[in-house]
A and B are shown apart, each in its own frame.
Chain A
């Protein structure tokens, strides 16, 4: 094993996985260094959960290798599992156990030594906000608390790597914020991989995003860089026809697309009535707003709105996942 500092915490080497005829993962490769907080993003069924199950050793890949801390998961599953804290999707926990009993059980199975364990557990419960529910049955807890118990069991053994599958799904907005804060807090000292299909989540918590679609890696970058990758800016345009007949969307779209400095135009929501909305993607750094204004005026269109928008991660995500997905569906 190479030097611990330089060995990536996680390495996927062309992972593939098929369930019968269905291909869940195709040749997926990535590396994650120590201390990174990585968001695994993709539409449902893209292969996020499958990837996590392979990393944790629950599933074996059909081809390729998964390494955790430089150790092959398939070769020494016990060694790699000992370094991982994993919370599967929808936090499956023993409903008939009390919170404290369950955390003791998790500590036993994760090999936490008995001496000094009480203090450690107490600190973890405090961190996860569990002190008030220690004596309750897990089955009686709210979803938010369940999720926190799930997080607590994943960190009882002070793991190097924490893997969380959809840690905030099914929670209410307040609970989501709490869990996110907790994950951020954990991310300060540990390597964290979390999966989600909620975009603001990765933007809020992760330093790096890996986007998968259809079992393939389609992007791997920081949230800012991913947003920047779409060069140019988006201009939102809303127009209304001066004529009494409602304007033809396609005709107007073509008009705008022919305007200099415009790369492409997509119809978007208008503002109701006979208004039409568009998202205009610019070519290069030119600002085509003046030209768009002229085009509108010379074509008897009233301009209701004309402003620049930042390209959001959502745009990138949609383009990447839909484009790729469509080509292979």
Chain B
């Protein structure tokens, strides 16, 4: 565990030493703020539905772009520069590398998300905020982000080209996100399947304030699966 944290610390420092962290946090706060204030002033609603509710223009949609951007360099860059050999010949397991790097990306996204708590406290100051959906919304968004980051990290382990890692990661994340709206055009026999696969349908549930173990398990298993594949991809490079 100390080694996982050492790897995570290095990556986090590297994020904040470069513009990436600031771009990610600023972009997220801007979009989240816009959604939040438009809901607050236009609809005069004292809730944070706009923050969590998945739609083609929403903070969660922005995460679909930001998550692969955050993870694209994590392994690709090390493979390109050769430090990958240095890292993997140190006494660390491939799991420690994968988890450390995943944690770093997660910490960055969680920071951006955490800063939006300011909006929540603003609302609770003005009106009567129902904290239930807020808590489940945050939990859902964190789980949703973890899934995107794990997929992005997996893509980064597969290539030494960051751009390729980003594009592939984005396509996969976007497909899983948008397939939700496709269900309206599909025959009713496969619509439930599509709804189950989509990352946004589960986020929708949690944004409404429903914490269902099925949604939580969906995100956890997708995250775990992608991390597992990432670990396999790393260990295959020793062949």
Interface on A for B, CB 8 Å cutoff? Answer: 53, 56-60, 78-79, 81-82, 84, 86, 88, 90, 92-97, 101, 105-106, 108-111, 153
Provided the pairs A57-B238, A58-B238, A59-B238 are in contact, do residues A109 and B91 lie with their beta carbons within 8 angstroms? yes
Known: A60-B238, A108-B6. A78 touches B89 (CB 8 A): no
Q: Please give the number of chain B residues whose Cβ is less than 8 angstroms from any Cβ of chain A in the complex.
A: 24
Query: What residue of chain A has the Cβ atom nearest to residue B18's Cβ?
Result: A96
Residues on A with beta carbons closer than 8 Å to the beta carbon of B13: 101
A82 partner, pick from B2, B86, B91, B93, beta carbons under 8 A: B91
A60 with B3, Cβ < 8 A, contacts A86-B89, A88-B86, A97-B10 known: no
Are B81's CB and A95's CB within 8 A? yes
Q: Does B92 contact A (CB under 8 A)?
A: yes
Q: Which residues of B contact A84 (CB under 8 A)?
A: 89
Contacts of B2 in A (CB 8 A): 108
Complex CA gap A78/B91 in Å reads 5
If A60-B239, A81-B90, A110-B90 touch, does A105 touch B83 (CB 8 Å cutoff)? no
Q: Are B85 and A88 in contact (CB under 8 A)?
A: yes
Residues in B neighbouring A56, C-beta threshold 8 A: 89
By beta carbon, the residue of chain B nearest A154 is B86
Residues of A contacting B90 in the complex (Cβ-Cβ under 8 angstroms): 81, 106, 109-110
B residues near A97, Cβ cutoff 8 Å: 10, 14
Contacting pair B85 A58 (CB below 8 A): yes
Residues of B within 8 A of A92 (CB): 81-86
Task: Indicate if the CB atoms of A108 and B83 lie closer than 8 Å.
Answer: no
Docked-complex contact B91 and A81, CB < 8 angstroms: yes
The answer to whether A88 touches B82 (Cβ under 8 A) is yes
B44 at the interface (CB under 8 A from A): no
- In the complex, what distance in Å separates the CA atom of A97 from the CA atom of B91? 20
A79 to B91, CA, bound (A): 7
The reply to whether A109 and B92 form a contact with Cβ atoms under 8 Å apart is: yes
B111 in contact (CB, < 8 A): no
A257 and B83 CA atoms in complex are apart in Å by 55
Q: Is B32 an interface residue (CB 8 A)?
A: no
Chain B 4-22 near chain A by CB (<8 Å), digits 1 or 0: 0011001001100110000
**Which of A56, A57, A93, A94 counts the most B-chain CB atoms under 10 A from its CB?**
A94
User: Are B89's CB and A57's CB within 8 A?
Assistant: yes
State the majority secondary structure of interface residues on B. Answer: helix
Complexed CA–CA distance, A101 and B11 (Å)? 12
Residue of A nearest to B90 (CB): A109
A109 touches B6 (CB 8 A): yes
15 A–B pairs (Cβ distance < 8 Å), ordered by A: A56-B89, A57-B238, A60-B238, A78-B93, A88-B85, A94-B10, A94-B81, A97-B10, A106-B90, A109-B3, A109-B6, A109-B87, A109-B91, A109-B92, A110-B91
Chain A residues, Cβ within 8 Å of B14 = 94, 96-97
Q: Which residues of B contact A81 (CB under 8 A)?
A: 89-91
A58 touches B6 (CB 8 A): no
Q: Which residues of A contact B3 (CB under 8 A)?
A: 108-109, 111
Instruction: Scan residues 182-239 of chain B and give those whose CB is less than 8 A from a CB of chain A.
Output: 238-239
**Which residues in B have their C-beta under 8 angstroms from that of A58?**
85, 88-89, 238
Nearest first, the 3 closest Cβ-Cβ pairs linking A and B are: A92-B82, A108-B6, A82-B91
User: In chain A, what residue has the closest Cβ to B89?
Assistant: A56
Complex-state Cα separation, A130 to B190, whole angstroms: 64
Chain B residues contacting A95 (CB-CB under 8 Å) are: 81
Q: Which chain B residues in 70-106 approach chain A with CB under 8 Å? A: 81-93
From B18, B82, B87, give the contact of A90 (CB < 8 A): B82
A279 to B95, CA, bound (A): 59
Q: Chain B: which residue is nearest A78 at the CB level?
A: B91
Question: Which one of A78, A96, A106, A109 lies within 8 Å of B17 (CB-CB)?
Answer: A96
The answer for the CA separation of A81 and B87 in the assembled complex, in Å, is 11
Q: Is A111 in contact with B86, judged by CB distance below 8 angstroms?
A: no
CB-defined contacts of A60 to chain B, threshold 8 Å: 238-239
Contact partners of B83 in chain A: CB under 8 A: 92-94
Q: How far is the CB of B85 from chain A (nearest CB, A)?
A: 5
Q: How near does chain A come to B108, taking the closest CB pair, in angstroms?
A: 16
Bound together, the chains give a CA A252 to CA B239 distance in angstroms of 55
- A202-B81 Cα distance, complex, nearest whole Å: 28
> In the complex, how many angstroms separate the beta carbon of A207 from the nearest chain B beta carbon?
25
Chain A minimum-CB-distance residue to B84: A92
A58 to B18 Cα, complex, angstroms: 30
In contact, B89 and A88 (Cβ under 8 angstroms): yes
Report whether A105 and B81 are in contact in the complex, using a CB–CB cutoff of 8 Å: no
Within 8 Å CB of A105, what residues of B?
Answer: 6, 10
Whole-angstrom CA separation of A59 from B3 in the bound complex: 22
CB distance from A152 to the nearest CB of B (A): 13
**Contact across chains for B7 and A109 when beta carbons are under 8 A apart:** yes
| Known contacts A79-B91, A97-B14, A108-B3; 9 further A-B pairs (Cβ under 8 A) | A58-B88, A59-B239, A78-B92, A94-B83, A96-B18, A109-B3, A109-B91, A110-B91, A111-B3
